[in-house]
Amino acid sequence: MLNQINEAVRFIQSHGITQPEIGVILGTGLGNRFVKEMKNTLVINYNSIPHFPISTVESHKGKLIYGDLKGKKVLAMQGRFHFYEGYDMQQITLPVRVMKFLGIDYLLISNAAGCMNLKWKKGELMLIDDHINLLHDNPLRGENFEVLGPRFPDMSQPYSKKLNKLLTEIAKKKKIKLNKGVYAAVQGPSLETRAEYRFLHQIGADAVGMSTVPEVLVANHMSLACCAISVLTDECDPDNLKPVNITEIIATAEKSEAKLTELYMELISKL
Ligand code: HPA
């Protein structure tokens, strides 16, 4: 794994991506607006980077974009890798390790998620305060490399207190509704049954999705401060469940993209 990280880092650096300060992962339906705000961009397709998996999901573009935003050097992943695509946990989290080795100090994550908290509405945002890993695997399983991080990383505060506090203040100032809650990561790719939504709600999850947690585990392993915002794309009321389709989920995410972009841009300006 260390060789893979180094080879990917060297390749990316040789393309002029030398000093990123902040990494951003753009989830389903969230890849466009944010990138349009970046200036002087350099773009690399994932499929040309050594050891990067290939994005198999149509709605995930698969590009690494480097540029200036609010006076900072930002490295954005337009599209991510998911466990359900068939890759293992180490493969899907390799880009996070690579971004850390390229020099980022902060990782800002986004995703589209189903909403089990019935006080909230689709289209709203949720700041992830904590998570439940139901992927039944962990990217830290296997040999531990002490140069990357400890064998048993602490998870008492997986989402940075500092970043979450700043985001809460920014949302308040901008009058953007930012719910706070627990995200459960499931394997997918099928959506949940009514009984599964009921179960997830009962165990304390407010939102459910198929990503983010592996990236957060790896970020914590490397002491990389991170935060994550879910765009709530569908209401998962087990007693009143309508069929969802991915086109609708993407459309809802795209509608909320402006709010997410505003929050992250303001956060970047304050870091
Ligand atoms: N379940 C899992 N993943 C999701 C959902 C959902 O309801 N909505 C968006 N991503």
DSSP the chain: -HHHHHHHHHHHHHTT-----EEEEE-TT-SSHHHHT-EEEEEEEGGGSTT------TT---EEEEEEETTEEEEEEES---GGGT--HHHHHHHHHHHHHHT-SEEEEEEEEEE--TTS-TT-EEEEEEEEE-SS--TT-S---TTT--SS---SS-S-HHHHHHHHHHHHHHT--EEEEEEEE---SS---HHHHHHHHHTT-SEEESSSHHHHHHHHHTT-EEEEEEEEEEE--GGGPPP--HHHHHHHHHHHHHHHHHHHHHHHHH-
Ligand 1 and 208: CB distance under 6 A? yes
CA–centroid distance, 237 to ligand 1, in Å, is 12
Global pTM reads 0.96
Is 2-270 CATH 3.40.50.1580?
A: yes
Q: How many CA atoms lie within 13 A of 125 on its CB side?
A: 26
Residue with tokens 């589209």: 112
> What are the residues whose beta carbons fall under 8 Å from the beta carbon of 12, sequence distance 6 or more?
44, 49, 64, 98, 102
Amino acid at 163: L
In this structure, the residue with its CA closest to atom 2 of ligand 1 is: 209
Pocket test for ligand 1, best of 82, 199, 210 (most atoms within 8 A of CB): 210
Closest among 222, 210, 52, 233 to 125, alpha carbons compared: 233
Q: What is the pLDDT of residue 259?
A: 96
Pocket test for ligand 1, best of 124, 200, 233 (most atoms within 8 A of CB): 233
Q: In angstroms, what is the C-alpha Rg of the chain?
A: 17
Closest among 27, 25, 21, 37 to 74, alpha carbons compared: 21
Q: What is the pLDDT of residue 121?
A: 96
Helix, strand or coil, per DSSP, at residue 102: helix
In this structure, the residue with its CA closest to atom 8 of ligand 1 is: 114
Amino acid at 139: P
Residue with tokens 């509405």: 121
What are the tokens at 151? 């064998």
Amino acid at 155: M
- Alpha-carbon gap, residue 69 to 113, rounded angstroms: 26
CB–CB of 125/231 below 8 Å?
A: yes
Helix, strand or coil, per DSSP, at residue 46: helix
Q: What is the pLDDT along the chain (271 residues), one digit of tens a residue?
A: 999 999 999 999 999 999 999 999 999 878 889 999 999 999 999 999 999 998 777 655 799 999 999 999 999 999 999 999 999 999 999 999 999 999 999 999 999 999 999 999 999 999 999 999 999 999 999 999 999 999 999 999 999 999 999 999 999 999 999 999 999 999 999 999 999 999 999 999 999 999 999 999 999 999 999 999 999 999 999 999 989 888 888 899 999 999 999 999 999 999 9
